[in-house]
């Protein structure tokens, strides 16, 4: 259990806004370009305050945030001490770049801390401001490394067809879903997609074991393109936005071994899984596989500042530096305030044993959700630490997709129970802050039981 919160004095700003104040904000919201909002839905939830796993909107409604925003609020919302760290750092050195021989004390300390926590051999850190930027850096490292080591034809990237790596062009070129590409082409060339080891959503594996099938496909693809033209493969240890897809235990170790035999690098996208989500600092501890490049963001600051870190193997870092340093970074790489907040955030994760809490409360949440398997519409439950997916089905005993998706369920959970979950095509995902308590887990399970108990096989509600 996390220790009791001591950093938040009682707040007085919980009073709802008046209807007129709320309406003014909603009208002004027309200037904000929103993502994935239904055009016919005029409602807006204007969030004004948050603390722990709770959010409040302008109307004074309270929500249980089982999404941790976008799977990133490890230490929970409303931590005053992180605000104080940011303010103190800004008063001292708010920003300076890390180019041309400049560096700063906070970036140095954070890099040191990450290297201490990371799998051995990843002794080099490239800072970014977010996840997609990190995958861009990984891609550039993977290609530039070949350029610098006399293998300029090694440009191809292998990726998973249900993988997601962000929305910049390089990152989305390596993301498998059609939505990542449709209408945005042409995407980056020299990317080849492989079958995701998804044992849940009806992928045909030709009668073979999943890993055997994927390994054969990987080997054949490498031979077809030619190993001398491939630089790296990218993948998430557990696929997040793809629908919490958990590869079989032997998948990543066998993939890594095969890639190594061809001299192909492994890039691990741990943007969701790092910093405790699965009960480890890095999912690499769970898979037992040390990647050549490990990309992180999100939970590194729990969202208190935009930030990310790419951890890089010594051989790659040495080759790309080659006297002059790796020639690309961002204006905000090594941002001292973001680094200071990240350090304090990592301190909280360690001090409050949030990795342990993710394991313990995650198991408790998983146990509660598995009780829902008795409902005909619940087809499965996947849970690792505090990453959970409840798989829904249109037909008891199968995993038939829901004809109307999960939107009605997500809305009902939010509007009736104040529970925020993430709707996937045929499931509900929960990635709450790692400070979630057993009581909050029970509250989420109760809400799901009530709503899923009223769900018809087509994904609508009675």
Ligand X SMILES: Cc1ncc(COP(=O)(O)O)c(C=O)c1O
> CB 196 → ligand X: shortest distance, Å?
13
Distance CA 422, CA 172 (A): 21
Nearer to ligand X, 236 or 313 (CB): 236
> CB 319 → ligand X: shortest distance, Å?
25
Q: What is the CA radius of gyration of the chain?
A: 22
> CB 164 → ligand X: shortest distance, Å?
5
Nearer to ligand X, 78 or 163 (CB): 163
Concatenate the DSSP letters of all residues of 21-49 into one string.
HHHHHHHHGGGS--SS--TT------EEE
Distance CA 446, CA 458 (A): 22
Q: Which residues contact 72 (CB under 8 A, 6 or more apart)?
A: 297, 298, 299, 302, 303
> CB 228 → ligand X: shortest distance, Å?
29
Nearer to ligand X, 377 or 389 (CB): 389
> CB 325 → ligand X: shortest distance, Å?
24
Is 459 within 8 Å of 383 (Cβ atoms)?
no
Nearer to ligand X, 164 or 304 (CB): 164
Nearer to ligand X, 164 or 330 (CB): 164
State which H helix or E strand residue 64 sits in: strand 62-65
> CB 240 → ligand X: shortest distance, Å?
4
Is 425 within 8 Å of 406 (Cβ atoms)?
yes
Q: Which residues contact 63 (CB under 8 A, 6 or more apart)?
A: 54, 55, 56, 57, 414, 418, 419, 420
Where helices occur in 371-437 by DSSP H, the ranges are: 407-417
Nearer to ligand X, 70 or 375 (CB): 70
User: Which two structure tokens, joined as six digits, stand for 103?
Assistant: 């560096």
From the list 248, 233, 313, the residue with the least C-alpha distance to 287 is 248
Q: Using CA of residue 271, residue 274, residue 278, residue 284, what is the dihedral sign?
A: positive
Determine how many CB atoms are found less than 10 A away from the CB of residue 268: 30
Nearer to ligand X, 164 or 326 (CB): 164
Nearer to ligand X, 240 or 279 (CB): 240
Residue with the CB atom nearest ligand X in the bound state? 131
Dihedral Cα 40, 41, 42, 43, nearest 10 deg: 180
Where helices occur in 352-431 by DSSP H, the ranges are: 354-370, 407-417
Nearer to ligand X, 218 or 295 (CB): 295
> CB 135 → ligand X: shortest distance, Å?
6
User: Which two structure tokens, joined as six digits, stand for 191?
Assistant: 């990317």
> CB 431 → ligand X: shortest distance, Å?
10
153 backbone φψ class: left, alpha, beta (φ>0; ψ -120 to 50): alpha
State the residues that interact with ligand X by CB under 6 A: 70, 130-132, 164-166, 236, 240-241, 269, 271-272, 297
> CB 188 → ligand X: shortest distance, Å?
16
Nearer to ligand X, 85 or 271 (CB): 271
> CB 130 → ligand X: shortest distance, Å?
3
CA 26 to chain centre: 29
């Amino acid at each position: 259990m996390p220790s009791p919160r001591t950093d938040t004095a009682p707040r007085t700003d919980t009073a709802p806004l008046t209807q007129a104040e709320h309406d003014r904000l909603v009208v002004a919201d027309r200037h904000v370009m929103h993502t994935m909002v239904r055009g016919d839905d005029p409602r807006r939830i204007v969030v004004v305050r948050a603390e722990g796993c709770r959010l409040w909107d302008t109307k004074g409604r309270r929500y249980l945030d089982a999404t941790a925003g976008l799977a990133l609020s490890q230490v929970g919302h409303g931590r005053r001490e992180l605000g104080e760290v940011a303010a103190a750092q800004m008063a001292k050195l708010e920003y300076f770049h890390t180019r041309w021989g400049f560096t700063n004390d906070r970036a140095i300390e954070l890099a040191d801390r990450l290297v201490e926590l990371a799998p051995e051999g990843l002794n080099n850190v490239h800072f970014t401001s977010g996840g997609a930027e990190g995958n861009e850096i990984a891609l550039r490292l993977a290609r530039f490394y070949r350029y610098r080591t006399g293998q300029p034809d090694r440009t191809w990237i292998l990726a998973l067809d249900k993988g997601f790596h962000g929305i910049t062009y390089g990152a989305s070129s390596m993301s498998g879903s059609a939505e990542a590409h449709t209408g945005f082409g042409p995407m980056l060339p020299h990317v080849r997609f492989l079958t995701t080891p998804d044992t849940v959503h009806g992928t045909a594996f030709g009668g073979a074991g999943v890993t055997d099938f994927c390994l054969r496909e990987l080997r054949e693809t490498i031979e077809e393109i030619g190993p001398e033209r491939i630089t790296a493969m990218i993948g998430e240890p557990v696929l997040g936005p793809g629908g919490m897809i958990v590869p079989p235990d032997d998948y990543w170790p066998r993939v890594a071994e095969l890639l190594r035999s061809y001299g192909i690098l492994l890039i691990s996208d741990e943007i969701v899984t790092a910093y405790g989500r699965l009960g480890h600092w890095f999912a690499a501890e769970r898979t037992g596989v040390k990647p050549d490049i490990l990309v992180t963001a999100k939970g590194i600051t729990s969202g208190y500042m935009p930030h990310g870190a790419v951890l890089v193997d010594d051989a790659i870092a040495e080759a790309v530096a080659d006297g002059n340093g790796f020639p690309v970074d961002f204006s905000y790489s090594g941002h001292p305030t973001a680094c200071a907040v990240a350090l304090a955030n990592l301190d909280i994760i360690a001090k409050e044993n949030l990795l342990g809490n993710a394991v313990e409360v995650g198991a408790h949440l998983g146990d509660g959700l598995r009780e829902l398997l008795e409902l005909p519409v619940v087809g499965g439950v996947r849970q690792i630490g505090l990453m959970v997916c409840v798989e829904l089905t249109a037909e008891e005993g199968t995993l038939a997709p829901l004809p109307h998706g999960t939107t009605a369920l997500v809305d009902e959970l939010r509007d009736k129970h104040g529970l925020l979950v993430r709707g996937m095509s045929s499931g509900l995902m929960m990635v709450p802050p790692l400070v979630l308590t057993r009581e909050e887990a029970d509250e989420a399970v109760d809400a799901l039981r009530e709503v899923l108990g009223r769900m018809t096989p087509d994904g609508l509600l009675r």
